[in-house]
Amino acid sequence: MRESPRRSLNSPAVTQTESSEWTIRRVLDWTTGYLRRGKVDAARFEAEVLLSHALRVERLELYLHPERLLRPPERARFRELVRQRHAGTPLAYLLGTVEFMNVTLKVNCSTLIPRVETEEMVERILRDVPSPLPKDFRFLDLGTGSGAIAIALAKEWPEARALAVDISNEALTLARENAQQNGVAERVAFACSDWFSAAQGQYHLIVSNPPYIPSEDLGALPQEVSAHEPRKALDGGPRGLREIERIVREASGFLLPGGRLYLEIGSPQAEDVCKLLHETPAFSRIEVHQDLAGRDRIVYAIRRGDP
Ligand SMILES: C[S@@+](CC[C@H](N)C(=O)[O-])C[C@H]1O[C@@H](n2cnc3c(N)ncnc32)[C@H](O)[C@@H]1O
């Protein structure tokens, strides 16, 4: 939501020739109604976020200077953002960044927009993994997308090293940039990989938010998701289990004894995923955790053996 450089709205903004109609207050009122008619839920909030983005100011400035007139280039910028939002482009893609845990991440249409459920998984990992970390702690993030999980964990664990993989080179380009921006690029390596194909050795932790939407449900996703976010990030095959099965089948071989596996799942998949894990003798302590809404969203397992 942030954009820099910011400048003050106090600066003389308008020439005499500009229309007196385009004050911040009127533009916001009009846009709120327009977005609402376009079925945008938080229409007022999004109108404000888009306007502050177009004007390159903090949202608070809109309240401080409601009678400020928009300059023609600002109007043009804002009009284009509103047009795209009304047409269904996700807000995060228009702003170009999202906040995820403790980091700001660039996002574009080659990456999934990181979700709050994934933040909850990262929070759980941070609570579960004892501190201080074991010496030479290494973790693997499978399907890193924007780099969200790997970067957030690496920032919280300054002594950890990670490998973050994705099958999409476009996503990896952005993830590398995000790692750089967040100061963790020296500790997070990125690789183009079909799940474990680029992984080497064994890790203390494997984490993944894989594609888990059942192919048969893709058509029922909100248009904002299905038309804009990458299919590779969403489509989990029949019943959403195709990629999860592949990960579970190989994961134990890449975990150190006592190593932990965390998977984000769709809530109806918990039973199937637990069954898969129970069928893998290398795993013990298989648990399901709920998100804040009480839905099963995280499956956890531990690799047998003493750390
Ligand atoms: C649901 S997204 C998760 C992105 C990110 N980790 C997050 O939580 O926001 C799944 C990611 O898995 C990647 N992916 C899909 N199939 C893959 C495969 N066979 N090997 C590696 N990555 C894959 C997609 O490109 C996508 O970036």
Residues 149 and 270 in one domain: yes
Query: Is 249 in the same domain as 219?
Result: yes
* Lookup: tokens for 256: 């150190």
> In the 8-state DSSP scheme, what is residue 1?
-
- H/E segment holding residue 66: none
Distance CA 17, CA 38 (A): 32
Q: How confident is the model at residue 20 (pLDDT cuts 50, 70, 90)?
A: low
Residue to substitute in 168, 213, 231 for testing ligand 1 pocket (most ligand atoms within 8 angstroms of CB): 168
Question: Which residue's alpha carbon is nearest to atom 4 within ligand 1?
Answer: 145
In this structure, the answer to whether residues 45 and 168 fall within a common structural domain is no
Residue 34 lies in a domain: yes
- Mean pLDDT across 246-270: 97
Phi and psi torsions of 206, nearest 5°: -120, 130
How many domains in the chain?
2
3-state secondary structure of 218: helix
Specify the residue with its C-alpha closest to ligand 1, atom 10.
233
Ligand 1 site residues (CB inside 6 A) read 112, 114, 118, 143-146, 148-149, 165-168, 171, 193-195, 209-211, 232-233, 243
The reply to whether 161 and 61 lie within a common domain is no
Hey, whose CA ends up nearest to atom 14 of ligand 1? 143
Instruction: Please identify, among 37, 59, 87, the residue that sits at the C-terminal boundary of a domain.
Output: 87
Domain boundary (64, 87, 110) is at 87
Backbone angles phi, psi at 285, to 5 degrees: 45, 60
Which residue, 87, 118, 140, sits at the end of a domain? 87
Range of the structural domain that residue 44 is part of = 24-87
Q: Would residue 3 count as lying in a domain?
A: no
Q: Are residues 296 and 244 in the same domain?
A: yes
| 65 lies in the same domain as 107 | no
65 lies in the same domain as 173: no
pLDDT tens-digit series, residues 185-243? 999 999 999 999 999 999 999 999 999 999 999 999 999 999 999 999 999 999 999 99
Determine the pLDDT at residue 306: 79
In a domain, 92, yes or no: no
- For residue 219, tell me if it sits in a domain: yes
154 occurs within a structural domain: yes
- Residue whose CA is closest, atom 11 of ligand 1? 143
Please tell me the distance between residue 212's alpha carbon and the centre of ligand 1 in angstroms: 10
Q: How far is the CA of 209 from the centre of ligand 1 (A)?
A: 7
**Residue 106: band (very low, low, confident or very high) from pLDDT cuts 50, 70, 90:** very high
Say which residues have a Cβ less than 8 Å from residue 180's Cβ, sequence separation at least 6. Answer: none
Residue 157: inside a domain = yes
Residues 104 and 143 grouped into a single domain? yes
- Backbone Cα Rg of the chain: 22
Q: Report the pLDDT value the prediction gives residue 267, as an integer from 0 to 100.
A: 94
pLDDT at 10 over 50: no
Whether residue 63 is found in the same domain as residue 152? no
Assess whether pLDDT exceeds 70 at residue 57. Answer: yes
The answer on 116 and 43 residing in a single domain is no
pTM of the entire predicted model: 0.92
The answer to whether residue 189 sits within a structural domain is yes
| pLDDT at position 307 | 79
Q: In whole angstroms, what is the distance from residue 292 CA to residue 302 CA?
A: 23
Is 29 among the domain residues?
Answer: yes
Shared domain for 53 and 105, answered yes or no, is no
Three-class SS of residue 5? coil
Query: What number does the ligand 1 atom closest to the CA of 141 have?
Result: 6
> Which range (19-23, 207-211, 226-230, 283-287) has the least confidence?
19-23
Same domain, 56 and 119: no
